[in-house]
Amino acid sequence: PSIMADGGGGFAPGIVFSPAERDLAYLRTDMGGAYRWDAKTERWIPLQDGESESSFMGIESIAPDPVDADRVYMAAGMGSRGPAAIFRSEDRGAHWQKTRVPFAMGGNEGGRGLGERLAVDPNHPNTLFFGSRHDGLWRSDDRAANWHKVSAFPLAGLGAPGSPRQTHGGLSFVLFDPEHAGRIFVGSADPGADHLFRSDDGGKSWRAVAGGPAQAMLPVKAAIGGDGILTITYSDDIGPNGITR
pLDDT tier at 6, thresholds 50, 70, 90 = low
Q: What is the mean pLDDT of residues 102-129?
A: 97
pLDDT digits (tens, 9 = 90+) for 96-112: 999 999 999 999 999 99
- Cα angle, residue 234 at apex, residues 229 and 237 outer, rounded to 5°: 160
Percent of the chain scoring above 70 in pLDDT: 97
pLDDT of amino acid 8: 61
User: 176-201 burial string, b = 16+ CB within 10 Å, else e?
Assistant: bbeeeeebbbbbbbbeeeebbbbbee
